[in-house]
Structure 1
């Protein structure tokens, strides 16, 4: 079974006011931590979607082992990044795992559990103690729908559309923090300092 990892990191960080991909985290840019996790997942292909601040990111972030896909329409929402990435997925891939570039607290073991439990399903999602969250699994039969997504939260709308079987994979603990605001970033650093990251 071939699996492609897709890291969404094209956001313009409008709510933060600075490129969140480059915020310091564990001695490196935030995106580097997410990509380090992605490399430990054993994906057959690893894609990272860049858009906002792409020129800075490629010079400051360790992108080794990842294929960069550029999303010129990043300002229209994450749907555009998913569309861009789907076009670059290996034709041999049975599915993709969608990861958020600003969510470094996702563990490689969680990704492997998700793929193991959901690989026969169209869609898989993690069910944390606090609710649903990334990473997501999308089997190949969803690719046409993913390629037509528009706007923000588009992937959630597809998830809740009723068009596909959805497998929820239990994961203990809270939904990992994703960084959209400065308060999110402070919470991430506080959780990390307290051993929760």
Structure 2
């Protein structure tokens, strides 16, 4: 009988330097907390096992993390998101018995636990990797099937897991994002989204 409650570890990617922001993006205010801790709160709604991948400003950010959340520092974070994902997946495989890894970003506050639960429900029922579908492609948050983890650990570039998700051999389901206004990359993005959603 298939396990309907597999052990899912959530990997929150928060290693970037956010050079376009001019500030530590992970610590920008969002609702009554920060962007990163808002992401962690959403993750806690779907799993007890949360790992945050840090890089730039790791010491300052680590001090703000809630209790019960693990952190690992990728000292090669400048190589890009792919390298940080590989680092995080390696950490999870060393420290946890995971039946799947949900990779999400710290700067997508509109993708809440409702969306994460939809991804996980499909993962449990279909037993395949489940990605978020956007208007112009698909990507994270994604629940990666264990069969994908070796490939994820080979990532080493500024691109994330998109190349792997697009491979013809990848068994993949897609769940539509609830909104197309997703990433916060610039000060203008943050100000606009914070004004509308983050107060």
Smaller-chain TM-score range?
Answer: 0.7 to 0.9
Output one character per residue of 1:120-169: Cα deviation in whole Å (capped at 9) or x when no partner. 44421122567535311101000000000011223111111223111012
Work out the CA distance in 2 between the residues paired with 1:24 and 1:107: 16
Equivalent of residue 77 in structure 1, options 76, 80, 89 = 80
Could you tell me which residue of structure 2 aligns to residue 105 of structure 1?
110
Work out the CA distance in 2 between the residues paired with 1:154 and 1:133: 8
- TM-score under structure 1 length normalisation: 0.88
Could you tell me which residue of structure 2 aligns to residue 127 of structure 1?
133
Work out the CA distance in 2 between the residues paired with 1:142 and 1:170: 21
Work out the CA distance in 1 between the residues paired with 2:147 and 2:180: 27
Output one character per residue of 1:53-76: Cα deviation in whole Å (capped at 9) or x when no partner. 1111112x2332211011001111
Work out the CA distance in 2 between the residues paired with 1:85 and 1:124: 19
Aligned positions, number:
191
Work out the CA distance in 2 between the residues paired with 1:188 and 1:82: 26
For residues 30 and 154 of structure 1, do their structure 2 counterparts lie closer, same or farther at Cα, with a shift above 3 Å needed? Answer: closer
Equivalent of residue 14 in structure 1, options 4, 15, 19 = 19
Q: Is the 2:139–2:162 Cα contact (8 Å) retained in structure 1?
A: no
Which is further off, 69-78 or 173-182? Answer: 173-182
Please report the RMSD computed on the Cα atoms of aligned residues, expressed in angstroms.
2.0
Could you tell me which residue of structure 2 aligns to residue 49 of structure 1?
53
Could you tell me which residue of structure 1 aligns to residue 65 of structure 2?
62
Is 1:164 the counterpart of 2:176? The answer is no
- TM-score under structure 2 length normalisation: 0.87
Q: Is the 2:139–2:161 Cα contact (8 Å) retained in structure 1?
A: no
Q: What stretches of structure 2 of length at least 5 have no aligned partner?
A: 1-5
Q: Is the 2:85–2:153 Cα contact (8 Å) retained in structure 1?
A: yes
Work out the CA distance in 2 between the residues paired with 1:124 and 1:145: 16
Report the secondary structure of 2:91's partner residue: coil
Distance apart, 1:91 and its partner CA: 4.6
Could you tell me which residue of structure 1 aligns to residue 121 of structure 2?
116
Distance apart, 1:170 and its partner CA: 3.3
Distance apart, 1:93 and its partner CA: 1.0
